[in-house]
Structure 1
Amino acid sequence: MKVSVKDNTEIVSPVVLRKYTYTKKILQNYQLYLFILPTIIYFIIFHYLPMYGVLIAFKDFVATKGIISSPWVGFKHFERFFDSYQFWRLIKNTLGLSVLQLIVGFPLPILLALMLNQIRSEKYKRFVQTVVYAPHFISVVVLAGMIYVFFSNNGLVNNIIMIFGGEPISFMAKPEWFKPLYVASGVWQETGWAAIIYLAALAGVNPELHEAAVVDGANKWQRILHVDIPAIMPTAVIVLILSVGNIMNVGFEKAYLLQTPLNQPSAEVIPTYVYKMGLQQAQYSFSAAVGLFNAVINLILLIAVNKFAKKISGQGLW
């Protein structure tokens, strides 16, 4: 929209000016937009369009009728899940496993990154990094197989226990051992890889800060406490928010592979329950309702923790 005035000049309205400026910026940086276009397409196809299928959680889905023609049942499947004898057990197992994994697994990458950052020998530092990063590239199936081999009745761990005069332990049969094995194996596999983001944050610390601290008489521990830790704190807050927001999504593959008929009371979590109900028993609507409930809880936790973290530290996702 253009407005004419007496001296025959034209004044462009602010709305048109903003649109022109925005379009000009896009054209000037079109390479960057083309670069992220595949990622946008991926998220649209595999994350946003499938959300249409959430409707089956509120229907009695019949494959021959399709999603639209299947009859509406409202919250029937949610009520069935809430009234199920497995509801509280699933919540307890899922939250218990996730919270334990968060408590143990969240601070360790920070500690590892701080220790690696203090190593002055580049050869030794690269060697340690290679050793701690390597487990990340082991597939979950192989990791589960290793756990079975090491912790079976005739495995390496029980052989060591018997050498020292102890009694063998049925690690894979006792429900109380499932969480320690799950969490410990996750720490071993992912701690080194998770430390990379903190090492990147530490690499951005201005060396002049350390030099000034040394001049002021600060020792190594004081420099870590007052220079390094504040530098990685924003990154740690973001990682913590994302971890809490994903707390109900326990790794399905490892939980399913480590399940046995004897440890199932402690090993059954919501993702494995959804898999069994949906794919093994073909209860698609019910499993979709359970999965939607799980996603809603994650969303609520993500928003709540982000708000709390932003209020306390000033850092947040948005």
Structure 2
Amino acid sequence: MSTTVAEVPDAHGPTPAGSDGEELPTRPTPRRSTLGQRMRREWQMHVFILPGVLFFSLFAYIPLLGNVVAFQDFSAFRGIFGSQWVGLQNFANLFTDDEVLRAVANTLIISLLQIAFVFPAPIILALFLNSLIGERIKRVIQTIVYLPHFISWVIVIAIWQKVLGGAGPVAELLDLLGMHGVNIMTDPDTFKVLVVSQVIWKDIGWGTIIFFAAIAAIPTELYESAATDGAGSWRRMWHITLPGLVPVISLLLILTVGNLLTVGFEQLQLQQPAVGADAAQVLDTFVYFRGIAGGDWGLSAAAGLLKGVIATLLVIAANRIAKRLGTGGIF
């Protein structure tokens, strides 16, 4: 007796037939909708994002066309079309201008100090507050450290001047200890440390919001399992909380590296008269004083454009390094 083996239709073979031997109709391939069709179908969403598109178009993208000033001996009276074209001369002058080199050095020192001390400060505070058992105590501390973020730099500098200035309580205390004439607010040698301390005091509470959200997203089962296995609070923080914060830390660190050449303009400008340009001149204040106040538009525009290009390259490089380390990136 012969055995007949049923043929199994190939997945890539002909269209399967029906019970009466007729071919079943194939399922039509859905047509991809065009951009116009999607815009008509989702017009509410496009109307919703329209104000944001207009804002960035008017105040971010269209002003980028003004970077042509960096290649001109620009004069506000002659305008862009009447100013003389000088090519890369403004960029060449940047590397021979002592004021530019001093501003770059101050910017890098302050930025590196901020990465070393300001960036980890919210992480440490978030971990500390997360370890508190009392919810009421945690909320009181959060409210206190959040408040300085909503104070303008003018008020912040005024407060620090009252406390650390020559007539403040700190100076009076040092005077009683035999250290006469100490004025921390006007000392160029300690100014960069002062700037970093002010940023920490003002923004440490606000920065913890992102890390609190990341901590809240960590499954509580991990903490319960670790506690069952005998892990203490320190080991739970080291092996559960910190690894859970790594993606957020990586993202923020990439953005921070992109702002390496950007430090607080208002903060430095307000304190520059007290400590002098040698200690407080950075790229942002240089662009303001040399361009807007001094009228050297071409050189200041070249400095701003070069800073933007370097920031873009830093973001790309930091993003690639983060991906190679396995922590993810922003694009």
Match of 1:265 in 2: 278
Whole-Å separation in 1 of the counterparts to 2:215 and 2:41: 34
Contact 1:178 1:263 in 2 (8 A): no
Moved over 4 A (4+): 9-14, 22-30
Instruction: Give the C-alpha shift of residue 229 in structure 1.
Output: 0.8
Match of 1:3 in 2: none
Label 1:187 to 1:262 Cα distance change in 2 as closer, same or farther (>3 A). closer
Match of 2:231 in 1: 218
Q: Which runs of 5+ in 2 are unaligned?
A: 1-22
Match of 2:132 in 1: 119
Match of 1:234 in 2: 247
- AA at the equivalent of 1:62: S
Match of 2:54 in 1: 41
- Aligned to 2:185, what secondary structure does the other structure show? coil
Whole-Å separation in 2 of the counterparts to 1:115 and 1:294: 36
Aligned residues: 308
Deviations 1:146-185 (A, max 9, x none): 2222222222211121233333323233311210111101
- AA at the equivalent of 2:200: V
Output aligned runs, 1:1-318, within 5 Å.
Answer: 17-20=31-34, 29-260=42-273, 262-318=275-331
Instruction: Give the C-alpha shift of residue 220 in structure 1.
Output: 0.9
Q: Which runs of 5+ in 1 are unaligned?
A: 1-6
- AA at the equivalent of 2:168: G
Among all aligned residue pairs of Structure 1 and Structure 2, give the percentage whose two residues are the same amino acid: 37
87-96 or 46-55, which moves further after superposition? 87-96
- Aligned to 2:230, what secondary structure does the other structure show? coil
Whole-Å separation in 2 of the counterparts to 1:313 and 1:283: 46
Deviations 1:59-100 (A, max 9, x none): 122333321332211011111121112232111100001110
- AA at the equivalent of 2:253: L
RMSD: 2.3
223-232 or 169-178, which moves further after superposition? 169-178
116-125 or 48-57, which moves further after superposition? 116-125
Give the TM-score normalised by the residue count of structure 1.
Answer: 0.90
Give the TM-score normalised by the residue count of structure 2.
Answer: 0.86
- Aligned to 2:76, what secondary structure does the other structure show? coil
- Aligned to 1:116, what secondary structure does the other structure show? helix
Match of 1:4 in 2: none
- Aligned to 2:231, what secondary structure does the other structure show? coil
- AA at the equivalent of 1:19: S
Of structures 1 and 2, the larger Rg is shown by 2
- AA at the equivalent of 2:248: T
- Aligned to 2:273, what secondary structure does the other structure show? coil
Deviations 1:258-312 (A, max 9, x none): 1126432111111111100111111111211111111112112111111111111
